[in-house]
Amino acid sequence: DSGVTQTPKHLITATGQRVTLRCSPRSGDLSVYWYQQSLDQGLQFLIHYYNGEERAKGNILERFSAQQFPDLHSELNLSSLELGDSALYFCASSAQGTSYNEQFFGPGTRLTVL
Amino acid sequence: DAKTTQPNSMESNEEEPVHLPCNHSTISGTDYIHWYRQLPSQGPEYVIHGLTSNVNNRMASLAIAEDRKSSTLILHRATLRDAAVYYCILTRNSGYALNFGKGTSLLVTP
Residues 41-100 of A with CB under 8 A from B: 42-45, 48, 50, 55-56, 58, 90, 92, 97-100
Mean pLDDT score across all residues of chain A: 93
Contact B45 A105 (CB under 8 A): yes
pLDDT at A44: 94
pLDDT at B99: 86
Q: In this model, does residue B96 exceed pLDDT 80?
A: no
pLDDT at B35: 95
Give the distance from residue B100's alpha carbon to the nearest chain A alpha carbon, in angstroms. 6
- State what percent of residues in chain A have pLDDT above 70: 96
More confident residue, A96 or B6: B6
Task: With beta carbons under 8 A apart, name residues in chain B contacting A108.
Answer: 43
Residues 16-75 of B with CB under 8 A from A: 32, 34, 36, 38, 42-46, 49
- When CB atoms are compared, the residue of A58, A100, A107 closest to B32 is A100
pLDDT at A33: 94
Q: In this model, does residue A40 exceed pLDDT 60?
A: yes
Mean pLDDT of A33-44: 92
pLDDT in tens, B26-69: 998 888 899 999 999 899 999 999 999 999 999 999 999 999 99
B93 touches chain A (CB under 8 A): yes
- When CB atoms are compared, the residue of B44, B95, B102 closest to A105 is B44
Residue B92 binned pLDDT confidence (cut-offs 50, 70, 90): confident
Q: In this model, does residue B89 exceed pLDDT 70?
A: yes
Task: With beta carbons under 8 A apart, name residues in chain B contacting A102.
Answer: 46, 49
Residue B98 binned pLDDT confidence (cut-offs 50, 70, 90): confident
State the SS3 of chain A. CCCCEEECCEEEECCCCCEEEEEECCCCCCEEEEEEEECCCEEEEEEEEECCEEEEECCCCCCEEEEECCCCCEEEEECCCCHHHCEEEEEEEECCCCCCCCCEECCCEEEEEC
Lowest-confidence pick of A9-13, A74-78, A98-102? A98-102
Task: With beta carbons under 8 A apart, name residues in chain A contacting B45.
Answer: 2, 104-105
pLDDT in tens, A85-103: 999 999 999 987 665 678 9
Give the distance from residue A68's alpha carbon to the nearest chain B alpha carbon, in angstroms. 16
User: Is residue A35 within 8 Å of residue A45, measured between CB atoms?
Assistant: yes
